[in-house]
Amino acid sequence: MGRRFNFYQRFHGSDLVLLINLAAGLSIFFFGYDQGVMSGVNISPDYINVMGLRGRDALLGGVVAVYYAGTLVGALMGGWIGDKIGRIKTVVVGSLIAIIGAVLQTSAQNVAWMMASRIITGIGTGHLNAIVPVWSAETSHHSSRGMFIAMEFTLNIFGVVVAYWLDYGMSYTEGGLRWRFPIAFQLVPLVVLAVGINFFPESPRWLAKVGRHEEAIDILSSLRGDGDPDNPEVQKEYNQVMEAIQLESAEGEPTYYSMLFHNDKLNIPRRVHLSIWLQILQELTGIGVITVYAPTVFLNAGFSERTSQLLSGLNNIFYMLCTIVPVFTVDRWGRRFTLFYGAVLQGICLLLVGVLTKPSIMSMNSLGFGIAATVFTFGYTGFFGMTWLCVPWIYPVEIYPTKVRARGGAWSVVGWSIGNALIMEVTPPMIATIGWASFLVFAGFNFLTIPIVWALYPETSGKTLEELDIVFSTKSMLVYRAEKELAALKEQNGGVIHLGDPDSIDHSPDIHSIEKTPSMNEKSGTPASQY
């Protein structure tokens, strides 16, 4: 009986990694599309009438906001399921839940129906957001891991762009088609993902964790060794994975609660808090306030309503193009520097947008200052796309041990959901109360992130996922002290640092002990992980 077709049987190395990340990108495309589609739906007269939302602005916003409650619940569910049944099956589960939600949204006849549908779609999205970046990180090479996840977020903003322009095009139509068709369109990527993901390889790290060693080696050989299990890089990575899994198993299986509060040798609570707060910091850098207020900036510049809508669409396209930059820089420059320069440039842009939109200044030359404010609005979204958009999604999936990586990704989505809900809640009244000064507040948050990242967030680029266990297992949570601690350990151990106390961990089984071929029966020692 022949084996079912899988891409790893036909493609190897960077070609296979690229295919995996394109599949992951399809999920992220759906995420972006689903985020963007409701902005056009909410202004459809037929939608407002059918849902009974005329004059009920709070409820109109509530229909959008319940989606984030769904993503929070779905992320926690998906993270737990992903560590139990694997990454691929969890993507299928998340896709099917989101398909049900999309069908119900498309056919909704009242506001309760719509809100329930949005929650279901959010639960499916939460599954996908928790597990897809994990799958991507676990299959990508450590030297290009950031590049591929950054590439996925180009597709994420492409989803926002498609949603915006589809809504814009449908604004010339009338009736239910104007809003039902854009909602139904999200079924296209979801159905393709639910079916197509079954032809992609499972994470070799998850397979090794659950004891499916032959399959893990098969896939790892395709990813790193051009199909050759004897390739030194395949052997080194497999042995590192097994060493890490043995260390992790000694610590037991943590719950979500213990991940947050129970200190252990692997410092998992530290990693959880870093993940959650990085996502919240991302929202505090101001992307939400720019998204809400950009059309007003364009209107204040003297542009018509239709021209302002076109400028918003062009801003989204510029945003998408700028997300290509980190594909080439995030691994070369590192995560920390990317966040540093992004925070500085974003803060400057928001500062200038705030000053230029101050009524007393705008009244001096509304067209000139309005155009300048428009330029810096474009500048902010561009710099955000180059920096803070992708790093808060790359970082969390890099820093967790294999046994909890999916649940770690879920905690990251929890932080994202909290940050989004917070900004959605405070931005409208803030703009209504202090107007232009809102930009100054968020500019301040950008500058505040710099010392926080410097002090608390170690560099992760260029290290394998197993080597990062060493980086995050130091006693000190302050980066500069942790680096001194690691340097001392390295000197003490002759230039290398093991993933744990070597006397308390058995050596990992070599790849050859699992292969069936007679010529592969020799055992080799487990290499120490280099930091």
pLDDT tens string 10-53: 999 889 999 999 999 999 999 999 888 888 888 888 999 999 88
DSSP 243-290: HHHHHHHHT----HHHHHH---TT-HHHHHHHHHHHHHHHIIIIIHHH
pLDDT tens string 280-303: 999 999 998 887 677 777 877 777
Between 38-47, 387-396, 410-419, the lowest mean confidence (pLDDT) is in: 38-47
Q: What is the largest CA-CA distance in the chain?
A: 84
User: What is the distance between the alpha carbons of residues 491 and 425, in angstroms, rounded to a whole number?
Assistant: 51
The Cβ-side half-sphere exposure at 509, using a 13 Å CA radius, reads: 14
User: What is the distance between the alpha carbons of residues 441 and 249, in angstroms, rounded to a whole number?
Assistant: 46
State what percent of residues in the chain have pLDDT above 90. Answer: 49
Residue that has been written with the tokens 């209107």 in this structure:
299
Q: Mean pLDDT, the chain, as a whole number?
A: 86
| More reliable by pLDDT, 300 or 431 | 431
Cβ atoms of 500 and 248 within 8 Å: the answer is: no
pLDDT at residue 494, rounded to an integer: 65
What SS3 class is residue 174?
A: coil
Element at 106 (helix H, strand E):
helix 87-106
Alpha-helical (H) ranges within 399-521 are: 405-434, 437-456, 465-471, 479-492
pLDDT at residue 521, rounded to an integer: 33
Cβ atoms of 245 and 403 within 8 Å: the answer is: yes
Confidence band, pLDDT 50/70/90 cuts, at residue 3:
low
Cβ atoms of 304 and 440 within 8 Å: the answer is: no
User: What is the distance between the alpha carbons of residues 144 and 499, in angstroms, rounded to a whole number?
Assistant: 22
pLDDT at residue 46, rounded to an integer: 92
- Distance linking the first and last C-alpha atoms of the chain: 45
Q: Secondary structure of 10-75 in the HEC alphabet?
A: CCCHHHHHHHHHHHHHHHHHHHHHHHHHHHHHCCCHHHHHHHCCCCCHHHHHHHHHHHHHHHHHHH
Both tokens of 8, joined, read 């790893």
Going 409 to 411 to 415 to 417, the CA torsion angle's sign is: positive
Going 306 to 309 to 313 to 314, the CA torsion angle's sign is: positive
User: What is the distance between the alpha carbons of residues 296 and 319, in angstroms, rounded to a whole number?
Assistant: 18
CA distances (Å), origin 515, targets 95, 206, 217, 223, 511: 35, 18, 9, 17, 7
pLDDT tens string 242-277: 988 887 777 777 888 888 888 877 889 999 999 999
Both tokens of 490, joined, read 């390295």
Both tokens of 249, joined, read 């198993």
Going 38 to 41 to 43 to 46, the CA torsion angle's sign is: negative
Cβ atoms of 51 and 110 within 8 Å: the answer is: yes
Confidence band, pLDDT 50/70/90 cuts, at residue 496:
low
Does the pLDDT value for residue 514 go beyond 60?
no
Cβ atoms of 355 and 376 within 8 Å: the answer is: no
pLDDT at residue 277, rounded to an integer: 96
Other Cβ atoms less than 10 A from the Cβ of 255: the count is 12
- Picking from 103, 112, 106, the residue whose alpha carbon sits closest to that of residue 177 is 106
The Cβ-side half-sphere exposure at 508, using a 13 Å CA radius, reads: 29
pLDDT at residue 191, rounded to an integer: 97
Does the pLDDT value for residue 316 go beyond 60?
yes
Residue that has been written with the tokens 């790290």 in this structure:
205
Does the pLDDT value for residue 523 go beyond 60?
no
pLDDT at residue 457, rounded to an integer: 95
Confidence band, pLDDT 50/70/90 cuts, at residue 222:
very high
Residue that has been written with the tokens 């939302």 in this structure:
53
Confidence band, pLDDT 50/70/90 cuts, at residue 454:
very high
pLDDT at residue 425, rounded to an integer: 75
Give the relative orientation of helices 305-322 and 288-300 as an angle to the nearest 10 degrees: 140
Cβ atoms of 231 and 13 within 8 Å: the answer is: no
* Neighbour-count burial of 71, counting CB atoms closer than 10 A to its CB (0-12 exposed, 13-18 middle, 19+ buried): buried
What SS3 class is residue 231?
A: coil
User: What is the distance between the alpha carbons of residues 324 and 329, in angstroms, rounded to a whole number?
Assistant: 9
User: What is the distance between the alpha carbons of residues 147 and 341, in angstroms, rounded to a whole number?
Assistant: 18
- In this prediction, residues 367-382 reach a mean pLDDT of 91
User: What is the distance between the alpha carbons of residues 23 and 288, in angstroms, rounded to a whole number?
Assistant: 28
pLDDT tens string 66-106: 888 899 999 999 999 999 999 999 999 999 999 999 999 99
- Picking from 88, 93, 90, 68, the residue whose alpha carbon sits closest to that of residue 79 is 90
Does the pLDDT value for residue 458 go beyond 60?
yes
Give the global pTM. 0.84
| More reliable by pLDDT, 307 or 132 | 132
User: What is the distance between the alpha carbons of residues 99 and 88, in angstroms, rounded to a whole number?
Assistant: 17
Residue that has been written with the tokens 């569910």 in this structure:
77
